[in-house]
């Protein structure tokens, strides 16, 4: 094997590594930008009155402190994507073990005595639960 063929192989490896690093960087930027956009969108809709936390309740599961959020969400905004985004927004760094989010289409129903229109109940820490509609 000549010295030139060794250099060519090394160059191909360096190019492949550079392409991989470039693609990984782009992927990371897209993910971080998307999370920032989702948080901004959720906060804007909260400020517009499209959704709001009406009340919270603490509960204990497996000996650990958990929290439930009663959330008003307008019927027109109550899509699966929006509810999952709100769940993530509310629970991402609140320090509780598990979370339940009850969604109501009217503010008056969200006082804690009425049935929710949709529920997201976390049963394993860190996993976004399925949406149950009623």
Q: Quick: pLDDT tens for 87-132.
A: 999 998 899 999 999 999 999 999 888 999 999 999 999 899 999 9
Q: What is the chain's length?
A: 134
Question: Distance (Å, rounded) from C-alpha 111 to C-alpha 101?
Answer: 13
User: What's the token pair of residue 64?
Assistant: 């650990």
Res 61: pLDDT: 96
Output the pLDDT for position 60. Answer: 97
CB distance 66 to 121 below 8 Å: no
Q: What 3-state DSSP class applies to 111? A: helix
pLDDT-derived band at 28 (thresholds 50, 70, 90) equals very low
Give the residue with greater pLDDT, 83 vs 38: 83
Q: What is the pLDDT of residue 25?
A: 52
Higher pLDDT, 30 or 120: 120
Partner residues linked to 133 by β-bridges: 118
- What gap in Å lies between CA 94 and CA 92, rounded to an integer? 6
First to last CA, the chain: 72
Categorise residue 91: left if φ over 0, alpha if ψ from -120 to 50, beta otherwise: alpha
User: Is residue 10's pLDDT more than 80?
Assistant: no
Asked whether the whole model's pTM tops 0.95, one would answer no
């Amino acid at each position: 094997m000549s010295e030139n063929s060794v250099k060519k192989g090394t160059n191909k490896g360096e190019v492949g590594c550079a392409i991989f690093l470039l693609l990984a960087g782009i992927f990371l930027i897209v993910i971080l930008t998307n999370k920032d956009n989702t948080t901004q969108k959720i906060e804007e809709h909260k400020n517009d009155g499209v959704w709001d936390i009406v009340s919270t309740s603490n509960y204990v599961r497996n000996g650990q402190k958990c929290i439930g959020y009663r959330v008003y969400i307008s019927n027109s905004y109550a899509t699966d994507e929006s509810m999952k985004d709100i769940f993530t927004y509310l629970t991402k760094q609140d320090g509780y073990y598990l979370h339940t989010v009850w969604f109501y289409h009217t503010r008056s129903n969200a006082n804690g005595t009425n049935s929710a229109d949709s529920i997201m109940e976390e049963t394993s820490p860190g996993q976004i639960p399925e949406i149950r509609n009623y």
